[in-house]
């Protein structure tokens, strides 16, 4: 299961499929693609595992169904590297 | 309104050596103390048209530039800068007193004026449209800025774009334009009538001269401007002129990288920069011929797109 790091406000601005996000916990600003923002917003609503995220976001992404879980996994790892999300013990 | 040019030279020297010369630059009052003749000459030449306040009043910044004491007065003399008692810079050779003055004037703003988002960028206005030129050193920003200023553009700043946090207006801070190395000869040839300070060699940025800001720009220093474009310039010898639209999120990151205090401002900086990006179109601009670039900017300001 993954969740947004507690306390993270997720302040972002999105233009034409690209976004900038102000990480108010680290003070850094990140350039993200719009897909990453979709993932963050879904996780802000409730913690989810990668497979459920893939199902929820399937109609938002232009990816083959079987490629999406791996792409979501990679994105979660990337967002965890930016201290925006963290995995929860199952 | 009293200006530096209204003060007899003796009075200018007396204020600098005594209670301080309170010089108005854009929204700031700077109290300057100095006993250095080159600095007096530089201020008399390049700040002639700037308003002067009464010596005793409030000043945003208190700057002091003096000759190093003791034997250093006679052996390779140096200039020392202090700001409200602190000495943030190493002394420099006395011959570099005037460039040092300009650098410390910039330093005061970039380190203290946090009611603005401060971008390391030139900003000029024409036909009611302000164009912001953020760029690292070596991009040709100041040369381009100086050339535009000699062709009737209003100078808001060649070095620091001040964006007001609440409404996104750009505040003018018109000051002398810093020219380096070959740019000095280029601008002399491009506009033979301009007023330039005597070049100072061997600074850590090479040879430096400053171009006097146009009196019309100084007279409008309390008139804000609306930003219309953000253009990232890059001089490249022999390159054809090209203009490439930039995505807004990428432009945001580019401006943030060139801002002095984006990190300091935190969420307020993020909001202000987002507002600036909303209000402007952003481009990467590559050029090699100054004339072509100036004509291009004229069309951009006139047509707006």
Residue B165 belongs to a domain with what CATH number? 3.40.50
Query: Are residues B292 and B163 both part of a single domain?
Result: yes
What's the length of chain A?
Answer: 90
Which among B150, B145, B172, B153 has a CA at the least distance from the CA of B161? Answer: B172
Query: Are residues B161 and B234 both part of a single domain?
Result: yes
Domain boundaries, chain A: 2-85
Residue B137 forms contact with A (CB below 8 Å)? no
Of B97, B112, B127, the residue that ends a domain is B112
Considering only CB atoms, A15 lies closest to which of B249, B256, B263, namely: B249
Q: A13 contacts in B (CB within 8 Å)?
A: 249, 252, 274, 277
Query: Are residues B271 and B294 both part of a single domain?
Result: yes
pLDDT at A39 exceeding the cut of 90: yes
pLDDT score for B76:
75
pLDDT in tens, chain B (305 residues): 899 999 999 999 999 999 999 999 999 999 999 999 999 999 999 999 999 999 988 999 999 999 877 766 667 788 888 888 888 888 999 999 999 999 999 999 999 888 999 999 999 999 999 999 998 877 889 999 999 999 999 999 999 999 999 999 999 999 999 999 999 999 999 999 999 999 999 999 999 999 999 999 999 999 999 999 999 999 999 999 999 999 999 999 999 999 999 999 999 999 999 999 999 999 999 999 999 999 999 999 998 86
Query: Are residues B33 and B96 both part of a single domain?
Result: yes
B263:A27 CB<8 A: yes
pLDDT at A9 exceeding the cut of 80: yes
pLDDT score for B249:
98
Residues ≥6 apart with Cβ < 8 Å to A72? A39, A50, A53, A54, A57
| Predicted TM-score (pTM) of this structure | 0.94
Q: Per the structure, how many domains does chain B have?
A: 2
B248:A16 CB<8 A: yes
Rg (CA), chain B: 19
Query: Are residues B79 and B134 both part of a single domain?
Result: no
B263:A14 CB<8 A: no
Query: Are residues B37 and B141 both part of a single domain?
Result: no
Structure tokens at B106: 């910039």
Nearest CA in chain B to A22: B270
Give the Cα separation of B288 and B142 in Å (integer). 14
Query: Are residues B82 and B227 both part of a single domain?
Result: no
Of B83, B112, B141, the residue that ends a domain is B112
Residue B48 has a CB neighbour count (10 Å cut-off) of 16
Q: What are phi and psi of B256, to 5 degrees?
A: -60, -40
pLDDT score for B71:
64
Query: Are residues B126 and B265 both part of a single domain?
Result: yes
| Pure H helices in B139-261 | 141-149, 182-190, 215-219, 248-257
The residue segments making up the domain with residue B55 are 4-112
Query: Are residues B101 and B136 both part of a single domain?
Result: no
Give the Cα separation of B100 and B102 in Å (integer). 5
Beta bridge pairs of residue B196: B211
Of B77, B112, B147, the residue that ends a domain is B112
pLDDT score for B72:
64
Query: Are residues B52 and B95 both part of a single domain?
Result: yes
In a mutagenesis test of the B interface, which of A29, A34, A36 is the best target, namely the one with the most B β-carbons within 10 Å? Answer: A29
pLDDT score for B176:
98
Which CATH architecture fits A2-85? Alpha-Beta Complex (3.90)
Q: How large is the ipTM?
A: 0.93
pLDDT score for B25:
98
């Amino acid at each position: 299961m993954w969740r947004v790091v507690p306390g993270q406000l997720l302040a972002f601005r999105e233009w034409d499929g690209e976004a900038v996000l102000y990480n108010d916990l680290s003070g850094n600003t990140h350039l993200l693609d719009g897909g990453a923002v979709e993932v963050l917003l879904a996780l802000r609503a409730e913690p989810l595992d990668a497979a459920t995220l893939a199902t929820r976001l399937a109609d938002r992404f232009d990816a083959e169904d079987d490629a999406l879980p791996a792409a979501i996994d990679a994105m979660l790892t990337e967002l965890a590297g930016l201290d925006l999300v963290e995995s929860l013990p199952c | 309104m009293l200006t530096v040019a209204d003060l007899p030279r003796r009075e200018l020297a007396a204020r600098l050596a005594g209670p301080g010369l309170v010089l108005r630059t854009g929204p700031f009052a700077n109290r300057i103390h100095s006993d250095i003749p080159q600095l007096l000459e530089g201020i008399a030449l390049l700040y002639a048209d700037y308003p002067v306040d009464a010596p005793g009043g409030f000043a945003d910044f208190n700057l002091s530039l003096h000759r190093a004491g003791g034997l250093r007065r006679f052996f390779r003399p140096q200039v020392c800068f202090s700001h409200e008692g602190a000495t943030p810079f190493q002394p420099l050779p006395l011959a570099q007193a005037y460039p040092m003055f300009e650098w410390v004037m910039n330093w005061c703003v970039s380190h203290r004026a946090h009611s603005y988002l401060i971008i390391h960028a030139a900003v000029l206005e024409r036909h009611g449209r302000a164009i912001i030129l953020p760029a690292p050193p070596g991009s040709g920003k100041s040369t381009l800025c100086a050339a535009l200023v000699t062709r009737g553009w209003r100078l808001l700043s060649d070095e620091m774009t001040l964006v007001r946090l609440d409404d996104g207006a750009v505040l003018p801070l018109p000051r002398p334009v810093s020219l380096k190395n070959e740019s000095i000869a280029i601008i002399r040839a491009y506009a033979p009538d301009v007023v330039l300070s005597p070049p100072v060699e061997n600074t850590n940025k090479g040879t430096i001269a400053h171009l006097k800001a146009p009196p019309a720009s100084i007279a409008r220093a309390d008139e804000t401007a609306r930003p219309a474009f953000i253009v990232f310039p890059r001089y490249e010898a022999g390159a054809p002129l090209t203009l490439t639209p930039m995505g807004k999120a990428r432009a945001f990151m580019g401006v943030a990288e060139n801002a002095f205090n984006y990190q300091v401002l935190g969420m307020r900086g993020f909001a202000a920069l987002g507002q600036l990006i909303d209000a402007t179109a952003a481009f990467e601009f590559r050029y090699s011929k100054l004339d072509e670039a100036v004509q291009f900017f004229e069309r951009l300001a006139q047509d707006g797109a």
